[in-house]
Amino acid sequence: MKISPLFWLGTALGGALWLFTRARATEEEEAEAKPTGTGGVIPKKGRTWSLSNWSEVAKGPLVPPPGLPLTARKPGASMSALPAVTAAAAQYGNPGFTSAMEALAINESGARFALPAWTFDSRPKAERPPGKSFISAWGVFQWQNAHAKHNFGVSNAYQMTPEQEVAGTIARYAEILKGIDNDPAGVFLWHISPAAYKYARARIKEGVPTREAIYQGAASRGDHWPKVLDGYLKKWDKRYPAAVA
């Protein structure tokens, strides 16, 4: 029996569609866990783990957040990562960038090493409670699995080394800063959404002023994102009012 070439073409296209659907589903799950800027603040609801059971100074049996293995590094003390953040950022010679990195680390994790999101849950969808989002944000800057895989080739954010978690991440932010006219607001925008960052860069090339383009980029992701960006910038300006961008 001779099989038509159209059969094989259809099979190949079907396989490609299946792979695309799988990849898209993963991206959509990651998209559910946008940075919230609450890593340093313990939420009242939705929390999935406790520092008393999962930290370097845990007193009882270790109980990791759902989906995180016992072999993962444990969170350090509040502000323990700040000296490393300052040192890694300072080498780029831009006081505004250093200030932005310090503010971002404090905002996202309380400047703690290896901190999972307070609502962390990286279990497969079938194992999570109905309506519970996939959340993989982890570390000083609360990077998700997709960020860690793209930049460091690891499958999960919690697999990053301390060097990658701080210096490697800051090196990536330094590249971003160069591409957005040296405005630290661009770093915060990329942290919110790489797609919004690309949108802003396109507007800058069209002649739109940098800060205006950054806010347009935030708005391109939804009406509430400019407010999120405002939150980052207000905390940065409050902590470092004399910072030079």
For residue range 183-220, list pLDDT tens digits in order: 889 999 998 888 999 999 999 999 999 999 999 999 99
Average pLDDT of the chain is 83
Model pTM score: 0.80
34-38, 144-148, 151-155, 223-227, range with the lowest pLDDT: 34-38
- At residue 116, the 3 state secondary structure works out as strand
**pLDDT level of residue 242 (50, 70, 90 thresholds):** low
Question: What's residue 243's pLDDT?
Answer: 52
Question: What's residue 239's pLDDT?
Answer: 73
- 159: tokens are 């697999």
For residue range 41-74, list pLDDT tens digits in order: 667 678 999 999 999 988 889 999 999 999 999 9
pLDDT at 7 over 60: no
Contacts 24+ apart (CB under 8 A), 222-230: 225/192, 225/193, 225/196, 228/37, 228/192, 229/185, 229/188, 229/189, 229/192
Pick the more confident residue, 181 or 151.
151
Q: How far is CA 216 from the centre of its chain?
A: 20
For residue range 100-155, list pLDDT tens digits in order: 999 999 989 999 999 999 999 999 999 999 999 999 999 999 999 998 999 999 99
**How open is the CA angle 215-31-96, to the nearest 5 degrees?**
40
Question: What's residue 81's pLDDT?
Answer: 97
Burial letters 157-187, b for 16+ CB under 10 A, else e: bbbbebebbbbbbbebbbebbeebbebbbbb
